[in-house]
Amino acid sequence: MSSLELREFHNFLEGLIEGSSTEQRFSIDKVVGAILHSHPKRLEKIQDHVIALGLRTLIRNNCRAKVSSTNNGPDMFGHYHLGKRIPVPYKDEHGKLRWDRKRRSELSFDDLDEVIARWEDRPPKQSRDRKDFDEIARRTAPYRDVARTVGEALEMAERDGV
């Protein structure tokens, strides 16, 4: 698929969206329905790209989910408002800031420190995530020398009533 085909589809899509905006309420479902039923040939040209975008969206949504359907044991992160995969900052080989998504169960203390350090550049407004990470850091602090991961330290804190 060429970038020209994709650009043409974007222009077509913009026209459909603008046309549907003149109605009482905008409906994504109506636009999708119009594409699927009235313009299937246009969609065929960019089908692979659309499928890849859809899969990326589903994967991102799954990573943001709070509860895992594959987790067999107790979830020590369960009462925190954190996704199953946590974005952890790192510097690539060129020194550029990048983000890796790690499973909560694999979150190291260095990872936790990096996540919290990123907030130092932000305004002091406390977000829910920031409060959760600060609370996790406080609860796990006594166990940093004995636990391998943050999840393991949370289990120890839960056991000790911390």
Q: How far is CA 98 from CA 88, 89, 91, 101, 149, in A?
A: 8, 6, 6, 10, 22
Domain boundaries, the chain: 3-64, 85-160
Rounded to whole angstroms, the Cα distance separating 79 from 89 reads 23
pTM of structure: 0.47
* 111/121 Cα distance (integer angstroms): 17
Please give the sequence-ordered ranges of beta strands (E in DSSP) within the chain, or none if there are none. Answer: 85-91, 97-103
More confident residue, 24 or 108: 108
Tell me what percent of the residues of the chain surpass a pLDDT of 70: 83
What pLDDT score does 53 carry?
A: 87
In the prediction, which pLDDT does 154 show?
93
Which uninterrupted H or E stretch holds 45?
Answer: helix 40-45
